[in-house]
């Protein structure tokens, strides 16, 4: 962005710098935390926090710590590529959940990572990494691999350049193997990942397409590694096709 | 907020002014739309949009229209009073949904309105007003009445001052009747609303409490008006108590 409006720009940049300090692991922070993490002086953080509270983007708790405000959640819920997609997908995810009683997930790509938009988990289902609003690597998650398979060569280059981190002995960590798997996903329309991200789980994923053929999201089901994935595939693909049709 | 930092403040205020133009009814907007709605000159809107895109708060579509970006959804998903609450509530909402196969809703208060954090609807369930990320009046919705009953005298004064809008012949529109119903909610721990907001539906709601006793949310079930609400009440109250315990 070649925008020369220095002071304005850095003002908004600083405000988002404060907001970006919040994460799944750090949902509540003091002004000192925010000052340390942004590198901004305490008086600046103090002023930014007051303004963000005024806009409803932050809320100050009784203990003086700040948290993301409901108003920001409400604004975020207007994102068509997150909440809008979720609204269309939800009935299908619920059907899939009722049919399998396992972990059912809806995933989109944000930059070079997979972002979980929704997850429905049975209380008895296997424990999985990833929560709604959390991120996972594209190359090591089933939903991420589907997005990577349809993300074009520039995305693949960026993912390869960042390096293929190993999470388990079965994580895909070579370019050769990754290209093989991505080709297979494009050919078959689904992927089965056995212990790629954590030991003990197996995940199956399929793409969600717009009418244009562009892949906008993926859905996955995560089960115990001892289970047979074959019966899951038709249900998962049917749900993915249903959501794709719903988006058209 | 008595903050004298004029230019900075108005910068952030203007940026949120642009974001606040987006709504359920207006998820996508051109720069001209935004200029008209904010009253800001087009060059200012142009610059603000570029900066908001840079932060991931907005995304520009192929047709030149802007929409709320996934990054804002991701940030909003960190709001403990929305997404955090939802994470705790979701298994209970799912159980309630499986037991009733009707509309199940999770509602919090934002200012003088009720905000839907979650809704699970069976495809065969009665159609209801309200979606996740949407708002409804406190005095005319079952979940809203529960929040109003526990919101203190200042909130009640504000709601009365704003006026009790009529949606159906059964909407509560007098202060006397409203005070009666709120007393009853505080006494019984639930409310049954028969066609208060739309004809043909009946809603039952119960409060979710923190350990301190403060009511932070409510859950409701919406069914056809011909149904008997009595069997729903114990299931709803049990779910509300479960979520309350989960928050402790």
Q: In what order do the strands lie in the sheet with B58-60?
A: B28-29, B66-68, B58-60
Instruction: Report the 10 Å Cβ neighbour count for B106.
Output: 27
Positive/negative CA dihedral, A24, A160, A157, A240: negative
Q: Which of A145-149, A183-187, B203-207, B224-228 has the lowest mean pLDDT?
A: B224-228
- Report whether B139 contacts B164 (CB < 8 A): yes
Chain A residues lying within 8 Å of B72, measured CB to CB: 72, 75-76, 79
pLDDT tens by residue, A9-52: 578 999 999 999 998 788 899 999 999 999 999 999 999 999 99
pLDDT tens by residue, B214-243: 899 999 999 999 999 999 999 999 999 999
Which member of A59, A74, A87 has the closest CB to residue B115?
A74
Taking an 8 Å cut-off on Cβ atoms, the answer to whether B8 and A76 are in contact is no
Which member of B5, B70, B110 has the closest CB to residue A79?
B70
Question: Rounded CA gap, A100 and A149, in Å?
Answer: 26
Which residue is closest to B97 within chain A, CA to CA? A94
Question: Across residues A215-235, what is the average pLDDT?
Answer: 93
Q: Parallel, antiparallel, or unpaired: how do β-strands B113-120 and B135-137 relate?
A: antiparallel
- Cα B68 to Cα A61, A226, B20, B185, distances in angstroms: 27, 41, 10, 38
What is the least distance, in Å, from the CA of A180 to any CA of chain B?
30
Q: How far does CA A96 lie from the centroid of its chain?
A: 20
Greater confidence (B236 vs B124) lies with B236
3-class SS of residue A113: strand
Q: In what order do the strands lie in the sheet with A28-29?
A: A28-29, A66-68, A58-60
- Cα A109 to Cα A162, B7, B59, distances in angstroms: 16, 36, 14
DSSP bridge pairs for A205: A191, A220
3-class SS of residue A210: coil
Question: Rounded CA gap, B18 and B15, in Å?
Answer: 5
Taking an 8 Å cut-off on Cβ atoms, the answer to whether B69 and A57 are in contact is no
Q: Which of A22-31, A119-128, A165-174, B111-120 has the lowest mean pLDDT?
A: A119-128
Question: Rounded CA gap, A154 and B29, in Å?
Answer: 29
Chain A residues lying within 8 Å of B214, measured CB to CB: none
pLDDT at A190: 96
Can you read off the two tokens belonging to residue A83?
């909440």
3-class SS of residue B191: strand
Q: How far does CA A126 lie from the centroid of its chain?
A: 19
Domain boundaries, chain B: 3-75, 77-247
3-class SS of residue A60: strand
CA angle A142, A237, A217 (to 5 degrees): 50
The residue among A77, A96, A134, A242 with the most chain B CBs within 10 A of its CB, best to mutate, is: A77
Confidence of residue A1 (pLDDT cuts 50, 70, 90): very low
Question: Rounded CA gap, B153 and B48, in Å?
Answer: 40
Chain A residues lying within 8 Å of B3, measured CB to CB: 47, 50-51, 54
Q: How many CB pairs under 8 A join A and B?
A: 173
pLDDT at B5: 42
Can you read off the two tokens belonging to residue B37?
């709605």
Question: Rounded CA gap, A114 and A116, in Å?
Answer: 7
Chain B residues lying within 8 Å of A67, measured CB to CB: 78-81
DSSP bridge pairs for A193: A203
What is the least distance, in Å, from the CA of B27 to any CA of chain A?
6
The residue among B2, B63, B74, B100 with the most chain A CBs within 10 A of its CB, best to mutate, is: B74
Which member of B20, B71, B133 has the closest CB to residue A77?
B133
Residue appearing with tokens 């349809």: A150
Confidence of residue A4 (pLDDT cuts 50, 70, 90): very low
Which CATH superfamily is A77-247 part of? Answer: GAF domain (3.30.450.40)
Chain B residues lying within 8 Å of A68, measured CB to CB: 75-76, 78-80
Query: Which residue spans within A69-154 are E strands per DSSP?
Result: 103-110, 113-120, 135-137
Taking an 8 Å cut-off on Cβ atoms, the answer to whether B12 and A90 are in contact is no
Which member of B8, B48, B68 has the closest CB to residue A76?
B68
Which member of A1, A73, A108 has the closest CB to residue B54?
A1
- Report whether B174 contacts B188 (CB < 8 A): no
The residue among B54, B65, B70 with the most chain A CBs within 10 A of its CB, best to mutate, is: B70
pLDDT above 70 (res B8): no
Question: How do the residues of chain A divide into helix, strand and coil, expressed in percent and rounded to 5?
Answer: 45, 20, 35
Can you read off the two tokens belonging to residue A99?
């049919």
Which residue is closest to B7 within chain A, CA to CA? A8
Which residue is closest to A110 within chain B, CA to CA? B70
> What is the distance between the terminal CA atoms of chain A, rounded to a whole angstrom?
32
pLDDT at A128: 55
Q: Residue A192 burial (CB < 10 Å; 0-12/13-18/19+)?
A: middle
The architecture that CATH gives domain A3-75 is: Orthogonal Bundle (1.10)
Confidence of residue A100 (pLDDT cuts 50, 70, 90): confident
Q: Does ipTM exceed 0.85?
A: no
What pTM was computed for the model?
A: 0.75
Can you read off the two tokens belonging to residue B234?
């114990």
């Amino acid at each position: 962005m070649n925008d020369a409006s220095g002071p304005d720009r850095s003002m908004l940049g600083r405000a988002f710098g404060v907001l970006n300090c919040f994460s799944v692991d750090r949902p509540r922070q003091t002004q000192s935390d925010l000052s340390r993490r942004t590198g901004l002086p305490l008086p600046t953080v103090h002023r930014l926090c007051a303004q963000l509270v005024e806009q409803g983007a932050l809320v100050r708790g009784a203990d003086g710590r700040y948290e993301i405000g409901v108003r920001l959640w409400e604004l975020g819920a207007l994102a068509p590529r997150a909440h809008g997609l979720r609204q269309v997908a939800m009935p299908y995810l619920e059907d899939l959940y009722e049919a399998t009683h396992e972990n059912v997930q809806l995933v989109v790509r944000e930059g070079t990572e997979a972002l979980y938009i929704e997850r429905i988990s049975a209380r008895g289902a296997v424990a999985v990494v990833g929560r709604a609003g959390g991120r996972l690597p594209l190359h090591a998650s089933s939903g991420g691999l589907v997005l990577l398979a349809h993300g074009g060569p520039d995305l693949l280059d960026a993912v390869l350049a960042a390096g293929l981190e190993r999470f388990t002995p079965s994580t895909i960590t070579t370019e050769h193997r990754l290209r093989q798997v991505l080709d297979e996903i494009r050919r078959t329309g689904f992927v089965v990942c056995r212990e790629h991200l954590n030991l003990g789980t197996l995940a199956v994923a399929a793409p969600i397409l717009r009418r244009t053929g562009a892949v906008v999201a993926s859905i996955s089901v995560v089960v115990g590694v001892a289970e047979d994935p074959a019966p899951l595939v038709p249900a998962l693909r049917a749900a993915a096709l249903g959501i794709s049709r719903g988006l058209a």
